[in-house]
Structure 1
Amino acid sequence: MYRQLATACLLVSLAACSSLEFPGVYRLPIDQGNIITQEMVDQLKIGMTRSQVEYVMGTPLVRDTFNPDRWDYVYTLDDRNNDKKERHQLTVKFVDGKLAEFTTDIKPSAETAPAEPVSSDTE
């Protein structure tokens, strides 16, 4: 009897360490950081104040302690049900308290694109 109980405990322990997934089990998508949408990027304009940028984008995820004129917004989504991973990043730089430049992987819409050049990295 002791041997059967020990074998059962061993099998349960090994099953707990297994990377196998049970079919039909829903896993919650994990999103972290600041959500960055096309509409938010379209609202950013060169010359906006820090408070205006914070109103549009929210509190930045990273405020560089060595460069207070740079804010970084990062958003990641890990949807394990669809094997979908999404990542967006936006960096804003200020000069004299005004938005001077922003870099993002989301391009501004053509109708709202600023007259001045804006860095835009595509993934």
Structure 2
Amino acid sequence: MQKILVSVAFIALLSGCSGFPGVYKIDVQQGNVVTQKMVDQLRPGMTRSQVRYVMGTPLLTDTFHEDRWDYIYTMQEGKGDYSRKNLTVVFENDTLAAIRGDYRPDTTN
């Protein structure tokens, strides 16, 4: 009986290793890094190639909505904090028509 209790305690200890002292967890970044400086360069009427030059290749291009590009960035910190940022650019007649998401362009320049 005592061996079973020791085994169960050992398994419980191993399953909780994420909170075990001395265990280091790395930060995990995924997707497109988008900065406010990049978004500020976007202007209505820009071509697809101009937007791609400023923003990079989008993470998602929907085959059913070819006029929409999605830039998604996620960050999972080792200590457990999670953040996600989205930016969607919409084209009409192959020119930039709208920007949606967590970033807004600064139009005062």
* Fold similarity call, TM over 0.5: yes
Q: CA deviation at 1:6?
A: 7.8
Q: How does 1:19-58 map to 2 (within 5 A)?
A: 21-58=19-56
- Structure 1 vs Structure 2: percent identity of aligned residues? 45
Structure 1 unaligned spans of 5+: 113-123
**How many Å separate the matches in 2 of 1:99 and 1:20?**
45
What per-residue deviation string (whole Å, max 9, x for no partner) do you get for residues 75-120 of structure 1?
A: 1111132x432211011111111111111212223533xxxxxxxx
Q: CA deviation at 1:11?
A: 4.6
Structure 2 unaligned spans of 5+: none
Alignment root-mean-square deviation, CA: 2.3
Which amino acid is 1:86 matched to?
S
Correspondent of 2:99 among 99, 102, 119: 102
> TM-score normalized by structure 2?
0.82
**Larger RCO (CA within 8 A; separation ≥ 6):** 2
Correspondent of 1:76 among 64, 74, 87: 74
Q: CA deviation at 1:36?
A: 1.2
Q: CA deviation at 1:8?
A: 6.4
Which amino acid is 1:89 matched to?
N
